[in-house]
Amino acid sequence: GESVGLHLPTLSVQEGDNSIINCAYSNSASDYFIWYKQESGKGPQFIIDIRSNMDKRQGQRVTVLLNKTVKHLSLQIAATQPGDSAVYFCAENEAGANSKLTFGKGITLSVRP
């Protein structure tokens, strides 16, 4: 079946460096993508989203890139901080699917001081 997956289970970066978290999706009908951050014991927190008619969107210190040709989504975090340590999930929404999301497996970002 269709699935959303992440390439790497863990990512360790030095504080101050940029982080890039990657996600592959396989549902070509998906038209809306979201990145969530989840800290231990808390619910997922919305970070940034992108619609399929865009290939890049920037927020505060974060950028999401969408490559529909290869079905790839990435989250870039600039100047990574200790507070960025968390599990990150990509999620996709299929057009017309009543906002139902399919989540990737999650990747743990660990920031070294």
Partner 1 sequence: GAVVSQHPSRVICKSGTSVKIECRSLDFQATTMFWYRQFPKQSLMLMATSNEGSKATYEQGVEKDKFLINHASLTLSTLTVTSAHPEDSSFYICSATRPLLAGGPSTQYFGPGTRLLVL
Binding-site ranges for partner 1 (CB under 8 A): 31-32, 34, 36, 41-46, 49, 51, 89, 91, 93, 95, 98-101, 103-106
Are residues 101 and 4 in contact, defined by beta-carbon separation less than 8 angstroms? no
Nearer to partner 1, 16 or 59 (CB): 59
Q: Which amino acid is at 102?
A: T
Instruction: Specify the DSSP element, H or E, that contains 6.
Output: strand 4-6
Q: Min. distance of Cβ 105 from partner 1 in angstroms?
A: 5
* Beta partners for residue 49, in sequence order: 34
Q: Min. distance of Cβ 44 from partner 1 in angstroms?
A: 5
